[in-house]
Amino acid sequence: MSDAREGAPRKRGRPARTDAGDGPGARERILTAARAEFAEHGYDKASIRGIAKGAGVDPALVHHYFGPKEKIFGAAVEVAFAPALEAQDIVSVGGLETIGERLTRFILGVWEDPVTREPLLAIVRSAVANETAAAVFRDLVTMRLMVRVAGELDVPEPRLRSELAAAQLVGVTLLRHVIKVEPLASADLDEVIAMVAPVVQRHLTED
């Protein structure tokens, strides 16, 4: 990434102390460092000290901004899922008769790009391994994403149906990107979408 070069003066050794305090970019740097820390060490082993070090700030500042670890995790999840939380647009941008294809393409697409995949992977790993992280994941993501999708549906039990559709998409991303089962892991994205979208569509709109 060419960004690395732009940031070069701050890259070597200790970050400049003037930039390490309550600067305008500190909050953002802490969240970026938090995602890296959760991705590398998992929720249990991730530490505020490690996050602070990654962000080039004092641990007290991390606590000042976000509080305890689960709050930092929640904030990191929220930022990482920001595109997914905009899925309302994916829903309302077209008719219900093609919602399966749009939602499938969107969710699987977010996982296809290594840059957006990494924080998602960190969150999924943390949520699977740790009860606190699972609760954060559940409340933030499912309440905000699923409820929105379900709100658009005109079927009985829209919440349950949107969760079963989500289960199909979560399962595909898990087997494709985490467990890396072949041939799914190497299959062409468009082919996977073509096979998964009708199923998501069925969950969401068909009786």
Site residues (CB under 8 A) for a second copy? 42, 44, 124-125, 127-129, 134, 137-138, 142, 146, 157, 159-161, 163-164, 166-172, 174-175, 178-184, 187, 191-192, 195-196, 198-199, 202-203
CB of 15 to a second copy, least distance (A): 30
116: left (phi over 0), alpha (psi -120 to 50) or beta: alpha
In a 3-state reduction of DSSP, which class is residue 155?
Answer: coil
Helix H or strand E segment including 73: helix 69-80
Give the residue with the Cβ less far from a second copy, 79 or 128: 128
Give the residue with the Cβ less far from a second copy, 62 or 201: 201
CB of 171 to a second copy, least distance (A): 3
Give the residue with the Cβ less far from a second copy, 9 or 183: 183
CB of 16 to a second copy, least distance (A): 35
Give the residue with the Cβ less far from a second copy, 56 or 158: 158
Q: What is the DSSP letter of 16?
A: P
Q: For residue 100, what are the contacts with CB-CB under 8 A and spacing of at least 6? A: 165, 197, 198, 199, 200, 201, 202, 203, 204, 205
Short-list 45, 169, 174, CA closest to 105 = 169
CB of 137 to a second copy, least distance (A): 6
Per-residue CA distances from 97 to 55, 77, 205 (Å): 45, 30, 8
Give the residue with the Cβ less far from a second copy, 16 or 147: 147
CB of 80 to a second copy, least distance (A): 16
